[in-house]
Chain A
Amino acid sequence: NAGVTQTPKFRVLKTGQSMTLLCAQDMNHEYMYWYRQDPGMGLRLIHYSVGEGTTAKGEVPDGYNVSRLKKQNFLLGLESAAPSQTSVYFCASSYGGGELFFGEGSRLTVL
């Protein structure tokens, strides 16, 4: 029972490099979310999706793009990484209005 799986778990980038974080869920949830967690600031919503083929901006979307081509996958892309994007990224899924199920997080460092 995998739940929500994030890859990679750790990544170090240089400023200006690009990368994609992959989130996969096996619970057939409609809703998926990407959050970033920084010390003292809790979880801030980057982008979310309410179904396959749909995406919407959250609280802090600048510098990130997302895609939801398949219901079970939600990709978060950084086109040109900046040191301000150093953070721990969490993916979550939900059946809608209920419990959020989180992955274990992806720690990204941008030098």
Chain B
Amino acid sequence: TQLLEQSPQFLSIQEGENLTVYCNSSSVFSSLQWYRQEPGEGPVLLVTVVTGGEVKKLKRLTFQFGDARKDSSLHITAAQPGDTGLYLCAGTDNYGQNFVFGPGTRLSVLP
């Protein structure tokens, strides 16, 4: 069974601070996705990374896929209250059928 761990579990910061959250596994994934979930809603895809070492930027968010495709990180620059939510990473298998989710990092950005 492929497992994903995320750290930290909870993070509370002030507006304007930078932060990094991590997603780690002992398994290799063909791709890894990051989702953000707000209260009362379903998760929404932020990014998909496929190649080992890949870095993708989405405005103030920077995503990196580890060289061995076992881990990933999400860095947010100058966090804003609108970034508040649950951040989930998900790894996909070689067939692209199964998505394994980590437990999530709950981020709170205070104004």
Q: Using CB atoms and an 8 Å cutoff, list the residues of chain A in contact with chain B.
A: 4, 31, 33, 35, 40-45, 48, 50, 58-59, 90, 92, 96-100, 102-105
Contacts and interface: CB of A to CB of B under 8 A. Distances in A.
A96 B40 contact: no
Contacts, number: 58
Interface stretch (B13-21, B41-49, B53-61, B67-75): B41-49
B92 interface: yes
Nearest to B43: A102
Contacts of A4: 42
The interface residues of chain A, by DSSP majority, are classed as loop
Interface of B: 1, 4, 6, 9, 31, 33, 35, 40-45, 48, 88, 90, 92, 95-104
A31 B93 CA distance: 14
A80 B31 CA distance: 37
10 contacts: A33-B99, A35-B101, A41-B103, A42-B104, A50-B97, A96-B96, A97-B96, A99-B48, A100-B33, A104-B41
Contacts of A50: 97
Contacts of B4: 42
Q: What 5 pairs between A and B have smallest CB-CB spacing?
A: A97-B96, A102-B42, A42-B103, A43-B101, A42-B101
Nearest to A58: B98
A100 B90 contact: yes
Given A48-B97, A96-B96, A43 B9 contact: no
A43 B48 contact: no
Contacts of B101: 35, 42-44
A50 B48 CA distance: 21
Given A31-B97, A48-B97, A104 B104 contact: no
Nearest to A44: B101
